Amino acid sequence: AAKSAMRVTPLSGISGLPLLLANKEAYDRAPDAGVEVDEEGAVNINGEHFCAQQCLGAMLASMRRHAERATASAAPGAQTEISRWVLAAPPAVGTNAKAKLLDAAAVAGLGENVDVVDSIDAAASVYAPTHRAPAGSPPKKVLIVDVGYAFTSAGVYELPSEGAPVRKSLAHAVVGARDLDRELHKLLSDDLQKKHACKVELRTKAARRLMDEVVKAKKILSTIAQATVELECFGE
């Protein structure tokens, strides 16, 4: 049976870029340096410019080192070498972006043993082993929604009693991140009115503030399964 574990390292995200990309002396001088992105997608940190592949490569390299340390501490007799790296990207990501992802993988030192798969297919593969149909039964049909910060995808899959899940349909062009923002905003607005008699009017400061909190919550939900929305002094 396969076992999986998720570990989060602070240097895997955008907030860790100043330390990952700048030299230690520069980071010590300005540990809270802001990360700016120009119109061409280049990142500016303390006056130094880095392309997208360098930034993503730095984060992937941090993840690689973290994964290698984790496997090195495995139980005696367990496989400690990572033979293949699998990168999951949203289905909406095009060929050009996937090529840049492979460039970043090379920068990270992942070598040639790298696969780029659709993130929603990856989610279905992880979900299937513990939720597949019983032996002799028709395949289960499930809807899987992959919620990311920039992209949201939805797919219908059949989970047979044996073998890999089968994708029956996929939607990402019409199920965008902004659509999810609006639905979450409406859900919270209705909840506020029902529980606290607080009506959030459209195109008001309160509505914009609620949307900001929705976006923050969605960022959290793209990495973990639960998020809390806090609205201090919202009625003032």
Give this prediction's pTM. Answer: 0.57
Along the 236 residues of the chain, how does pLDDT read in single tens digits?
333 333 334 344 444 554 455 444 544 544 455 556 565 556 666 667 777 788 788 888 888 888 888 887 766 666 667 888 999 888 777 788 888 888 989 988 888 889 998 888 999 999 999 998 899 899 999 999 877 666 678 889 999 999 999 999 887 655 556 777 888 889 889 988 888 888 888 788 888 888 888 888 877 776 677 888 888 777 65
* Residues in contact with 126: Cβ distance below 8 Å, sequence separation at least 6, in sequence order: 4
What percent of the residues of the chain are helix, what percent strand, and what percent coil, each to the nearest 5? 40, 20, 40
Question: 26-59: per-residue pLDDT in tens?
Answer: 445 444 555 565 655 566 666 677 777 887 888 8
Coil, helix or strand at residue 29? helix
How many Å apart are CA 110 and CA 112, to the nearest integer? 7
How many Å apart are CA 196 and CA 121, to the nearest integer? 40
CA atoms 165, 166, 170, 172: torsion sign: positive
